[in-house]
Structure 1
Amino acid sequence: MNLLLTVFEIVAPVFILAGIGFTWVKLGFEYRLQFVTRFAMTLAVPSLIFVALMQTDIPGGDLSRFTVASVFAHLAIAAVFWLIVRGLKLEQRTYLSPLIFGNTGNLGLPLCIFAFGQAGLGYAVIFLSVTALFSFTYGIYLVAGKGAFGKVVREPMVWATLLGALFLWRGWQTPLFLTNTLELLGQMAVPLMLITVGVAVARLTTHRLSQAVWLSLLKLGVCFALGWVVALVFKLESVAFGVLVLQMCTPVAVTSYLLAERFKADADAVAGMVMVSTALSVGALPLILAIVL
């Protein structure tokens, strides 16, 4: 009973905030998705990442091992789903990116914060940064047929991660007034990201739900198994273990739909995967959380 109550207390705020965003749009109220997303990804999330890394008390060796594990996990999932997509004769441009990349920012980051506290945030930030690096390069290449390496060096999240890692390594701290400012900006990130998930899902439409159901279940099963194996292979401690598995199991990112729409892939199919996998996560993520806690 105590475990169930703990899991409920962790996941309830996440899905309530996403539900607020969903309901807000369905009631016909305005929500400027492009502005909010740009603000969050340019200021709020980078501030959260930088401060989390600068203030983390996770030993450097543990962070390094988790970083390598995160990179290996992304390579493993890319290889496995490449084989699955080829075996099922699905179109690579449409299906490979959403199967590989999860919503490690909007959903994964808040869940890890609520579940594992400051230590979980440090690990979740590392995983999110690795996801961002892969999605801005390999992810765009999959859909567009060309890389976007220039976007990486212009991405505030990447610089926030590099600067945060530098400050952590050197033991530096920003002046208190700047730290407080960055913390305030970072505190906006979680509610903004969660509400935006609900808004984005509310605006999606699809006619491919049946296919989306089995693909979403396949993604969840493969990601859970790979996350568990990678965490065991790298002998991650309990918090790092839980964060890796949880981040691996997050639903399809909304950005996969945006890329499919922009580069003329089958956006309707990807929209179905975003909607179904997000709905599936309402039941799946609490169960996974109960396993890893």
Structure 2
Amino acid sequence: MLLRIVSVMFPVFAIVAVGYWYGRLKKPDMRVANQLNMEFFVPALVFAALASKSFDLQSYWLLAVGGVVVILGSGLVAWPLARCLKVDPRLFVPPMMFSNCGNMGLPLAILAFGESALPAAVMLFLVGNTLHYSLGIWMMSPTARLMGLWREPVILASIAGLAVSLLQVQLWQPLYFAIKMLGDVSIPLLLFSLGVRLTQADFSDVRFGLLGAVVCPVAGLLFAALSVWLLPLPPEHAAMLIVFGALPPAVLNFVFAEKYGVQPERMASLVMVGNLMSVLFVAMALYWVL
């Protein structure tokens, strides 16, 4: 069992480590690569997964409900905790709700459960991203305009992929494989980019970071287990939801904190410490489900 967990986690953290090493050595500007990833490669991955012949929306809606329960439930835990600790809820609550389901969740799902798990991982990724770009932004800045959500390439790609699936459109196979090949670029680039981002980590408030690093996966696992108990999920979807619950705070939380002026330095500590400590909680989740 230990060997299997290591075999799942090693490629993920090895690529992150390579990104960290290269980031320290060369200090690359990843903005263009990240922009390409979010505007082309990740949308291609999402579209290919949803438009594949094996994808059936009815088979995944309960998993989507479970993802919503994990996200909103984590917020219900984090909000009163932030009040008790006298921490700005805008700083503490969103990163406890919105986890790293892109950089870490997608590759972990494929390595742990195989290529057939990609549509389920993409469904959880879409749930997390859609809520993050709407509810998450509103929580940080209630006056922010949310219409930009529908211009996000990932959302547009998901709508297109779902339309292809629901209407049973048969894509020309060479076109489908070209899109899928573009999507295959996204996962290693997500991990490499995360490693580079860790070189810019701000550990000025380690205690606050450690608090978030524990609360985020513990709350996520609690509500993932509750969802598995309440919802008639297939075993493979239940396992995916448990791993989803154990993920650390998303790097996107720092991007939004910087954009809306919500103490970005403390958010950086919370996000980066959480991602470093994720090796412990992800290993626990994998031990639980494998």
TM-score (norm 2): 0.94
- Which range moved further: 41-50 or 83-92? 83-92
229, 232, 235: which one aligns with 2:232: 235
Please say if 1:124 is aligned against 2:121: yes
Partner of 1:14: 12
Alignment pair present for 1:279 and 2:276: yes
Alpha carbons of structure 1 residues 8 and 84: separation in structure 2 relative to 1, 3 Å: same
Please say if residues 138 and 147 of structure 1, whose CA atoms lie closer than 8 Å, have aligned partners that are also in contact: no
Q: Hey, what does 2:44 align to over in structure 1? A: 47
Residue matched to 1:24: 22
| Distance 1:48-1:199 versus aligned 2 partners, 3 A rule | same
Q: 2:168 aligns with which of 154, 166, 171?
A: 171
Rounded to whole Å, the distance in 1 between the matches of 2:145 and 2:16 is 30
CA distance in 1: counterparts of 2:104 and 2:79, whole angstroms: 25
Equivalent runs, 1:1-293 vs 2, <5 Å: 3-27=1-25, 29-55=26-52, 57=54, 59-293=56-290
How far apart are 1:106 and its partner, in Å?
Answer: 0.5
> What one-letter code is carried by the residue in structure 1 that aligns with 2:147?
G
Deviation at 1:26, TM superposition (A): 1.0
Mapped to 1, the partners of 2:256 and 2:41 lie a distance apart of 23
Runs of 4 or more consecutive aligned structure 1 residues displaced over 4 Å after TM superposition: none
Question: In 2 relative to 1, CA 271–217 (structure 1 residues): closer, same or farther, beyond 3 Å?
Answer: same
Report how many residues are paired: 290
Unaligned runs of 5+ in 1: none
Instruction: Mark the runs of 5 or more structure 2 residues left unpaired by the alignment.
Output: none
8 Å contact 2:45–2:182 — kept in the other structure? yes
State the Cα distance separating 1:225 from its structure 2 match.
Answer: 0.9
Cα distance in 1 between the residues matched to 2:266 and 2:260: 14
User: Which amino acid letter does the alignment assign opposite residue 74 of structure 2?
Assistant: I
The SS at the match of 1:203 is coil
For the Cα contact (< 8 Å) 1:119–1:239, is it kept in 2?
Answer: no
- For structure 1, which segment, 219-228 or 62-71, has the greater mean C-alpha deviation from structure 2 after superposition? 62-71
Q: In 2, Cα distance between the equivalents of 1:180 and 1:59?
A: 19
- After alignment, is 14-23 or 143-152 more displaced? 143-152
Deviation at 1:240, TM superposition (A): 0.7
Q: Offset at 1:13? A: 0.6
1:287 is displaced (CA, Å) by: 2.1
Task: State the superposition RMSD in angstroms.
Answer: 1.6
User: How far did 1:52 drift?
Assistant: 1.0
**CA contact 2:95–2:216 (8 Å) conserved in 1:** no
Q: Which moved more, 1:103-112 or 1:243-252?
A: 243-252
Instruction: Give the CA deviation at 1:125.
Output: 0.5
Task: Report the CA distance between 1:116 and its aligned residue.
Answer: 1.2
Offset at residue 266 of structure 1 (A): 1.4
Task: After TM superposition, give the deviation of residue 179 of structure 1 in Å.
Answer: 0.9
SS in 2 for 1:31: coil
Contact kept, 8 Å, 1:201 with 1:274, in 2: the verdict is no
> Residues 107, 56 of structure 1: CA spacing in aligned structure 2 closer, same or farther, 3 A cutoff?
farther
Q: Distance in 1 between matches of 2:90 and 2:23?
A: 30
Letter in 1 for 2:19: G
| Structure 1 residue 189 displacement after superposition | 0.4
> Counterparts of 1:32 and 1:5 in 2: how far apart (Å)?
36
**AA aligned opposite 2:140:** V
TM-score, normalised with respect to structure 1 = 0.94
Conserved in 2, the CA contact under 8 Å of 1:56 and 1:119? no
Per-residue deviation, residues 144-179 of structure 1 (Å, max 9, x unmatched): 232442121101111211222222223323212211
Point out the more displaced range, 102-111 or 171-180: 171-180
Q: CA deviation at 1:131?
A: 0.9
1:59 deviates by 4.7
